Structure 1
């Protein structure tokens, strides 16, 4: 049976759009970027794993790779069908605690490597952290442009997972003094923390501005 292009055009105007075509233009482009970026991230996990010997980082890489791959398939499923994916979305759970070491210690300046021989676990963790941050931004932008309710929800659900993965990698790096976190003095920090007050009440809206005294 041949598709009638005029019928598709009519469907666009009447709202009777097939589920597979239930996507806006910006959505299609942005989700394409998300899927492409996810493939790029998965490729990085695969290619960089061989440079890692630390069992803790290997465990992080393997768990994040498997979760990201599964999430990619879920996103692709609902994007192609326009309907609920066969598998529901999940929440990524890291194994690390959330203890950060604050303060700066002297280190050698960082610079791009010139040879594969310079690869290290610090560089691997840094590359994967950048991928997680990039995907979080791309998925946020795509979800804000998505008209399909299922794809929008799947994208929105996946953003916290990118954040959690990035947090897990940053904690690992921080533990090895590769992701240092500066702090304000206690006095400066308390001044900033206490510079806001809770909002109270409701706005007083003037019913008729013309009744205001001149």
Structure 2
């Protein structure tokens, strides 16, 4: 028995890749996989209520992408090795044009019937789920010990950010997500409230 095993410790190089996980990491990874599953399940529920073909297209493309991601995460989680399908880059179809300013709109309130569900509601649900999963993955990647699983989950965060932005842009374009701005004088003051720092001298 070597010294590490006598001390109750073991170097990752001495263990099979599928066992190269810390206990906390397993719980976090389980939460991430559950989050992806939850998003896919919810998207299935939304699809029958969507009216706008554009929103349906966003949902279908995000569903396809997240299904592939689910399989990649599960494989790397179970094997601890490089997955057979590497992570990909999600490319949205929305333009980056944002409409600023507020337009009059009806005050919001909880719906009383499933028949009141609109594309406004569904796109809001989608945005909330993708943003929540992005946060979970970002925090989880910081505490992964297995280098492969860490990379798979960490590389997925920018894709979820892109998916969130895509849904936001859809909502903004349709007036569901309005973006107020500060008065020009206040904005200018805020933008000029920092100056570059000098480079520190080399020691």
Determine if the TM-score, normalized by the shorter chain, exceeds 0.5.
Answer: yes
Normalising by structure 1, we get a TM-score of 0.88
Deviation by residue 1:12-67 (Cα, 9 ceiling, x = unmatched): 62311211111112211111111001111001111101111211111101000000
Cα RMSD of the aligned pairs, angstroms, is 1.8
Report if aligned partners of 2:51, 2:118 keep a CA contact under 8 Å in 1: no
Hey, what's the Cα distance between the residues in 2 that align with 1:111 and 1:161? 32
Secondary structure of the residue aligned to 1:13 is coil
Hey, what's the Cα distance between the residues in 1 that align with 2:201 and 2:108? 51
Hey, what's the Cα distance between the residues in 1 that align with 2:90 and 2:166? 10
Alignment of 1:173-212 (within 5 A): 173-202=171-200
Q: Which residue in 1 is equivalent to 2:70?
A: 72
Structure 1 stretches lacking a partner, 5+ long: 1-5, 206-214
Larger Rg: 1
Report the number of matched residues. Answer: 198
Secondary structure of the residue aligned to 2:9 is helix
Structure 2 stretches lacking a partner, 5+ long: none
Q: Which residue in 1 is equivalent to 2:10?
A: 14
Secondary structure of the residue aligned to 2:142 is helix
| 1:124 Cα offset (Å) | 0.7
Deviation by residue 1:123-154 (Cα, 9 ceiling, x = unmatched): 11010000000000100111011011111111
Hey, what's the Cα distance between the residues in 2 that align with 1:123 and 1:171? 15
Alignment of 1:1-214 (within 5 A): 10=5, 13-15=9-11, 16-202=14-200
| 1:204 Cα offset (Å) | 7.8
Hey, what's the Cα distance between the residues in 2 that align with 1:153 and 1:203? 34
| 1:166 Cα offset (Å) | 0.7
| 1:203 Cα offset (Å) | 5.1
Hey, what's the Cα distance between the residues in 2 that align with 1:14 and 1:31? 21
Q: Which residue in 2 is equivalent to 1:212?
A: none
Report if aligned partners of 2:89, 2:159 keep a CA contact under 8 Å in 1: yes
Hey, what's the Cα distance between the residues in 1 that align with 2:62 and 2:16? 35
